[in-house]
Amino acid sequence: MGFRIMVFLAALMGVTGSASVTIRPESDPMDMSAHPNSVPETAENTDVFGQQKVPIEEEPEEDVMEIGELNPNHYPAQRAAKAVQHYLNTRYGSPYRVFGLHKVHSGNAEDVADSGRKYRLDISVQDFISKSTENCSAEVLFPRGEQQQQRRPQIQASCKELCKINTKAQEEALYQQYKNQSLVAAHLPDSYGHIEPDMEPLWHLGTVASSFIMLNESTENTLYNMAQVANVTQLETENNQLKFDYHILLHEMVSQEIIHWKLLFSWSPSEGVKVLQMEQLPHCHDCEKPPDTN
């Protein structure tokens, strides 16, 4: 009997080639993690103020720099679109107007001689405070070669209606409130992702100001999100400008690094955010881990 069972097993292995079979589930058409350049498709997969949840690969494959028509859900289009988000914040952002990428609808890329690669995008952008959304067109040129010394991408964007949102009354009230006091705060948001309502304007200001860093550092190989305001100190008002010293944590989504920056800037309703100094800080091994932005 034992001999017959052994013969039967040997015959079975001869047919299948293996005594073990691995069954993989069918691919979900909405699961974009199978592609090394993929990111979530909708704004429903985002954290606070447009922080995108990007799949973490144990062994990420080398990104494929595409030309021609782009998949809106893959990294090349998303990286260019995030640069547009940061550009809009640096131009029009305030404590009551913070822009985020809602969705990339379409895009294409082309190499431009020795200048770099140009992306043309149709996207939707959302003001996360008013919840207003607008479709926008944009062009992003990432410099290359000798031009890459000017690391900041060159951007043109048309989002006329969002930029017309009137927040002057709220900004003036906040300015008068902060003008005669000195604020100190830390961990915005805290380890549970919570921000006290009276601290939200400081978070908004930090988000807008951090866009100056993220835009300046943006390349075709990066994808930044604001992770946390580690601490903020309001300094003495100068020339009717409120002045702030921020320690900001940025999440670089491709490398999964948390990067620390010192950011000194001023703000007033009439002048907006003006960055005075930005400095990348050494990696802090003993710092408290910020809330998960994955």
Domain ranges of the chain: 43-280
* 43-280 topology per CATH: Nuclear Transport Factor 2; Chain: A, (3.10.450)
Render pLDDT for 98-155 as a digit per residue (tens, 0 to 9): 999 999 999 999 999 878 999 999 999 999 999 999 999 999 999 986 655 567 899 9
How far, in Å, CA of 16 to CA of 255, rounded? 41
> How many of the other CB atoms lie within 10 Å of CB of 177?
12
- Residue 112: beta bridge partners? 116
Residue 203's nearest CA partner among 166, 238, 174 is 174
Residue 146 CA, chain-centre distance (Å), reads 27
Angle between helices 200-217 and 75-92 (to 10 degrees): 120
Query: Which pLDDT belongs to residue 170?
Result: 96
The DSSP symbol for 14 reads H
Query: Which pLDDT belongs to residue 146?
Result: 61
Query: Which pLDDT belongs to residue 267?
Result: 97
Ranges of residues in the chain with a pLDDT under 70 are 1-65, 145-150, 284-294
Query: Which pLDDT belongs to residue 137?
Result: 96
How far, in Å, CA of 54 to CA of 74, rounded? 11
- Residue 224's Cβ-count burial label (10 Å; 0-12, 13-18, 19+) is buried
- Cα–Cα–Cα angle for 184, 186, 190, rounded to 5 degrees: 150
Edge-first strand listing for the sheet containing 99-112: 68-69, 99-112, 116-127, 133-143, 154-158
Query: Which pLDDT belongs to residue 150?
Result: 60
- Residue 281's Cβ-count burial label (10 Å; 0-12, 13-18, 19+) is middle
How far, in Å, CA of 31 to CA of 174, rounded? 43
Render pLDDT for 188-205 as a digit per residue (tens, 0 to 9): 999 999 999 999 999 999
Query: Which pLDDT belongs to residue 46?
Result: 36
Query: Which pLDDT belongs to residue 159?
Result: 87
